[in-house]
Structure 1
Amino acid sequence: MSPLEYALLMVAGLLTATLSGVLGMGGGVTLLGVMTALLPAPTVVPVHGVVQLVSNSTRALGLLRNVVWRVVWLYAPPMVLGVAAATAIWSGDKLVYLRPAVGLLLIVFLIVRRKAPKLRNPPRWVYAALGLVVGFASVWIGATGPMLAPFFLRDDFEKEQVIATKAACQALGHMLKIPAFLFLGFDFLEHAPLLGGLVVTVIVGTLVGRAILTRLDRERFVGLFEAILLLLSLWLIVGVFV
């Protein structure tokens, strides 16, 4: 990797972590795109998993008192089952059609959400089903943050609760990737300089994002959240064609 490519990844790590620190999403998918352009294909997902584990853990720890733990405990066990089930039947097929399908479903959800207020406060059991589905889909889709996002933008959650609870759930998912890639023989130590630099930049970016979040009122936060989610949905749809 050239010094310029390394510098670009550090800047991308800082900016994308700041975005996720403010809105709780968008950064992971964007960073994945940058990594795909600059890193060898076999390196992208393992390195991205470590960086996103640190990024989400930093967000969750920084807003620890805002984590709605009853949602996390409902989400986590089915997510583990979903990952295990997908791993057991995985055949190497990435099932790329799932990405545009998820994008379309998210757009429909955003539209219906404005027409049906009940969708803004789904029952708690939904998070158990969500964990199972996201855990299963993560093997094929990779970045599943957009799938989670609509279910955490609840009317009864403060903006800090939205970000903290979603980050805690995502951190658990990324944590599962580490032993999986170790089992598959990936050498994380070989990429220590890259991982070290990215870990530092995403921590700094998360802290910057948190500082911005405290100055953001809820109405603007919801508007930005929905706008970013719409853009990510469109990216999932068109990304399969480019």
Structure 2
Amino acid sequence: MLGFVALFVVASAAFSLSAVSGGGAGLIVMPLLGLLLPADHVPAALSIGTAVSSASRMALFFKVIRWQVVFLYVPMALPAAWAGILLLKQFQPAYLDLLLGLFLLSNLPLMLRPRKKSGISSKTSNSVWLPLIGALAGFISGFTGAVGLIFNGFYYRLGLRKEEIVATRAANDILLHIFKVVLYALYGLIDQATIKTGVVVAIAALASSWGMRLYLHHIPDYLFRQIGRGAAVVAGVAMVALAGRQILVQDRIVLYFNHTEKAVELAANWRQHKLSVEVENLTEVELRHSVLCRGVTCIENPKIQDMDTILHISLDRGIYIAKRIPSLGSGLITRT
């Protein structure tokens, strides 16, 4: 219950912020959802909540929806979302979340850039790219559950006003999220906990959406964009932190440093691999790659076993490469 209360508070704040920035609530809420649900159920919960948010925003700003943008965006977004969901069934989305987080952090230089006096005018040539943007957004949305502010720059380049961005994004997103919810259910990615979490996000979205119409028109367009970029940076930090934690846990990544009187070693473990660099007596350097056979894979395939590959560089003995299998002892493969 405490988790649901925290989710409601964070989601309400996130959707209120997204109301004045053109999106991004899903990316802000995603880290907290990752603590309440399995990673592959987070996109479904996000889609349930954001579908309700999009419906409420369409109702509020229906008259300013740019339907020509919707007609170019949605047809490619739907099949691309299906491809993203199929990929979600095969891989954990942590690495994609990390890349998206880093991409969102690139908004920080845009926030610090001096304001230009001339605004962005509408360019009809930008609409040529809308099917591709829709495909990219649909794929990422199917895989992670949210796209948020990632493609807001393209809406700006089309010359849309802030009300038009909110309304047109809502029209694009509602069809996409409804389509995804159906697919998530068909692929078994929605359970009772996912529905409850999605409903909490949906209630928070409704609570914040109805206040949007009262204050959105008071916000200057330049401030609207700056708030959007700030929200993107906040979402990027949260996504990098959550994805980094998930990657460290699921891939068993460990960094460590050892030193003695004669040697200094820096090593990193990743899954079944270990890479180390050792400096001995300031005259010798050894690079070692170790494959550590652990878990079910080794039981199913007895031919897989521990193995070390060593590159040794010495001022006195030259350079040599060796391969060592613990069960067989050491064997020199090449020497230079």
> Which residue of 1 is the match for residue 169 of structure 2?
166
Q: Which of structures 1 and 2 has the larger relative contact order (alpha carbons within 8 angstroms, sep 6+)?
A: 1
Distance 1:194 1:70, change over 3 A: same
CA offsets per residue over residues 208-240 of structure 1, 9 Å max, x none?
233221221222112222222344345555554
Q: TM-score, normalised by structure 1?
A: 0.81
Distance 1:154 1:211, change over 3 A: farther
Distance 1:235 1:44, change over 3 A: closer
Structure 1 vs Structure 2: percent identity of aligned residues? 22
Distance 1:42 1:124, change over 3 A: closer
Say whether 1:149 aligns with 2:152. yes
Residue type at the aligned position of 1:27: A
What is the Cα deviation at residue 72 of structure 1?
0.7
> Which residue of 2 is the match for residue 13 of structure 1?
11
Tell which deviates more after alignment, 40-49 or 14-23.
Answer: 40-49
Query: Which of 225, 228, 235 is matched with 1:222 structurally?
Result: 225
Query: Where does structure 2 lack aligned partners over 5 or more consecutive residues?
Result: 246-336
What is the Cα deviation at residue 147 of structure 1?
2.4
Q: Say whether the 8 Å CA contact 2:104–2:236 is kept in structure 1.
A: yes
Say whether 1:179 aligns with 2:182. yes
What is the Cα deviation at residue 124 of structure 1?
0.4
SS of the residue aligned with 1:23? coil
Equivalent residues in 2 for 1:117-156, closer than 5 Å: 121=123, 123-154=126-157, 156=159
Say whether 1:49 aligns with 2:47. yes
What is the Cα deviation at residue 138 of structure 1?
2.8
Query: Where does structure 1 lack aligned partners over 5 or more consecutive residues?
Result: none
CA offsets per residue over residues 75-121 of structure 1, 9 Å max, x none?
00111221234455666123644344445555668868979988984
Choose between structure 1 and 2: higher helix proportion: 1
SS of the residue aligned with 1:153? helix
Residue type at the aligned position of 2:244: F
Say whether 1:78 aligns with 2:76. yes
Tell which deviates more after alignment, 193-202 or 109-118.
Answer: 109-118
The 1-side partners of 2:193 and 2:230 are apart by 38
The 2-side partners of 1:126 and 1:28 are apart by 24
Distance 1:189 1:239, change over 3 A: closer
RMSD, aligned CA:
3.3
Distance 1:100 1:41, change over 3 A: closer
The 1-side partners of 2:235 and 2:221 are apart by 21
Q: Say whether the 8 Å CA contact 2:81–2:143 is kept in structure 1.
A: no
Task: Compare CA radii of gyration and give the structure with the larger one.
Answer: 2
Q: Say whether the 8 Å CA contact 1:78–1:131 is kept in structure 2.
A: yes
The 2-side partners of 1:97 and 1:40 are apart by 15
Q: Say whether the 8 Å CA contact 1:32–1:48 is kept in structure 2.
A: yes
Choose between structure 1 and 2: higher strand proportion: 2
The 2-side partners of 1:185 and 1:95 are apart by 17
Q: Say whether the 8 Å CA contact 2:138–2:176 is kept in structure 1.
A: yes
Tell which deviates more after alignment, 199-208 or 116-125.
Answer: 116-125
Q: TM-score, normalised by structure 2?
A: 0.60
Distance 1:63 1:75, change over 3 A: same
Residue type at the aligned position of 2:29: L
Equivalences, count: 240
Residue type at the aligned position of 2:167: A
The 2-side partners of 1:67 and 1:144 are apart by 19
What is the Cα deviation at residue 181 of structure 1?
2.1
> Which residue of 1 is the match for residue 21 of structure 2?
23
What is the Cα deviation at residue 14 of structure 1?
1.9
The 2-side partners of 1:110 and 1:178 are apart by 33
Say whether 1:92 aligns with 2:95. no
